[in-house]
A and B are shown apart, each in its own frame.
Chain A
Amino acid sequence: MNEIRKEDERVKGTQEYVLLDLSHSPETGFDQFAQVVKRTFGKELFVGLWVTLREMGSTLFGKGKHTVSYPLEKMPIAPRYRAIHDMLRLLESGNYRCIGCGLCEKICISNCIAMDTKYDENQRKEVSEYTINFGRCIFCGYCAEVCPELAIVHGGRYENASEQRASFSLFEDMLKPIDMLTQQKEFDGFGAVSPNADENIKKTPLAY
Chain B
Amino acid sequence: MEHKKDIKTQIQVTIDGKICNGTTNDTILKIARRNGIYIPTMCYLTKVEPIASCRMCIVDVEGVDGHILSCQERAVDGAVVHTQNSELFKQRQNIMKLYNVNHPLECGVCDKSGECDLQNKTLEYGVEVQTFQTKEPHRPVQNWGFISYDPALCIMCEKCVKVSHEITGNEALRIKMGGYKSTILNTKNDHFDSSLGESAAVCPVGALVDTSFKYSTNAWELTKIPATCSHCSSGCALSYEVKNDTIYRVTNPFEFSSLCGAGRYGFDFANRVNGKDKKAFDAGISAFKTAKTIKFSASITNEEAQILQELKNKFDYNLVCDEAYGYGEFMRAYSSTSGKSLYGGNLESLSKCEGIIVLGSRIEDDDPMVKYHITMASKRQSARVAYMHPIEDSRISNIVTQFIKYEVGSEEGVLALLLSYILSNKELPAHVSEYIKELDIGNLSAESNVGEEELEKFFKAIEKKNRFTLVIGSDIYAHPRVAHIAKLVGIIDSYSDFEIIAIPPATNALGVSLICDLDKQGVGESIGYNEIGDFTLSSQGAANLDMPALNQQEGTFTTIDKRVVATNVAISYDGYTLNDIANELGLYNKNTIDYTAKLPVSKGFMEVDFDNLRDDFDIEGNDMRGYLLASCETKKDDSLEEPAELSSFDGAMVYNCNETHYFGDATNKSKLLSSSESHTLKGSSQFAQIAKIEDGQSLRYSINDIVYERVFKIDTTLKGTIALNPTFDMGLSSSMVSSYRYNNFNIEKTNTVGAS
Contacts and interface: CB of A to CB of B under 8 A. Distances in A.
A125 B136 contact: no
Contacts of B113: 101
B648 interface: no
Contacts of A207: 102, 133-136
Given A106-B218, A119-B215, A125-B215, A206 B108 contact: no
A100 interface: yes
| Main SS class of interface, A | loop
B131 interface: yes
Given A101-B108, A125-B109, A208-B136, A203 B220 contact: no
Nearest to B133: A205
Most buried by B among A100, A102, A117, A202: A102
Interface string A57-94: 00000000000000000000000000000000000000
Contacts of B108: 99, 101, 103, 148-149
Count chain A CB atoms within 10 A of each CB in B214, B218, B220, B221 and give the residue with the most: B218
A118 B111 CA distance: 11
Contacts of A99: 108-109
A73 B76 CA distance: 83
Contacts of B102: 206-208
B141 A123 contact: yes
Interface string A9-44: 000000000000000000000000000000000000
A123 B214 CA distance: 9
Interface in A100-144: 100-103, 105-106, 116-119, 123-126
A203 B216 contact: no
Contacts of B221: 102, 105-106
Contacts of B132: 205
Contact of A206 (B109, B131, B136): B136
A208 B134 CA distance: 8
Interface residues of B, number: 25
B133 A101 contact: no
Interface in B215-262: 215-218, 220-221
Interface residues of A, number: 24
B216 A117 contact: yes
A139 B104 CA distance: 33
B215 A117 contact: yes
Contacts of B135: 207
A202 B129 contact: yes
B141 A203 contact: no
Given A117-B215, A205-B133, A207-B133, A100 B105 contact: no
B131 A203 contact: yes
Given A106-B220, A106-B221, A204 B215 contact: no
B128 interface: yes
Contacts of B141: 123
B612 interface: no
B274 interface: no
B130 interface: yes
B136 A203 contact: no
Most chain B CB inside 10 Å of its own CB: which residue of A118, A149, A202, A204? A204
A204 B127 CA distance: 11
B136 A101 contact: no
B130 A204 contact: yes
Contacts of B131: 203, 205
A101 B133 CA distance: 26
B538 to A, nearest CB: 32
Contacts of B134: 207
Contacts of B105: 204, 206
A203 B129 CA distance: 6
B181 to A, nearest CB: 13
Contact of B133 (A100, A102, A206): A206
A123 B218 CA distance: 17
A152 to B, nearest CB: 13
A161 B218 CA distance: 33
A70 B136 CA distance: 58
B336 to A, nearest CB: 57
B261 to A, nearest CB: 20
B149 to A, nearest CB: 12
A204 B102 CA distance: 8
B105 to A, nearest CB: 7
B215 A205 contact: no
Nearest to A101: B108
Contact of B128 (A119, A124, A148, A202): A202
24 contacts: A99-B108, A101-B109, A102-B218, A103-B108, A105-B221, A116-B217, A118-B216, A119-B214, A119-B216, A124-B109, A125-B109, A125-B215, A202-B128, A204-B105, A204-B129, A205-B130, A205-B132, A206-B133, A206-B136, A207-B102, A207-B134, A207-B135, A207-B136, A208-B102
Q: Would you list the 9 A-B pairs with minimal beta carbon distance, nearest first?
A: A101-B108, A205-B133, A125-B215, A125-B109, A119-B215, A102-B218, A204-B130, A119-B214, A207-B133
Given A102-B221, A206-B133, 19 more contacts: A99-B108, A100-B109, A100-B215, A101-B109, A101-B113, A103-B108, A106-B218, A117-B217, A119-B214, A123-B141, A124-B215, A125-B215, A202-B129, A202-B130, A203-B131, A204-B130, A205-B130, A205-B133, A207-B134
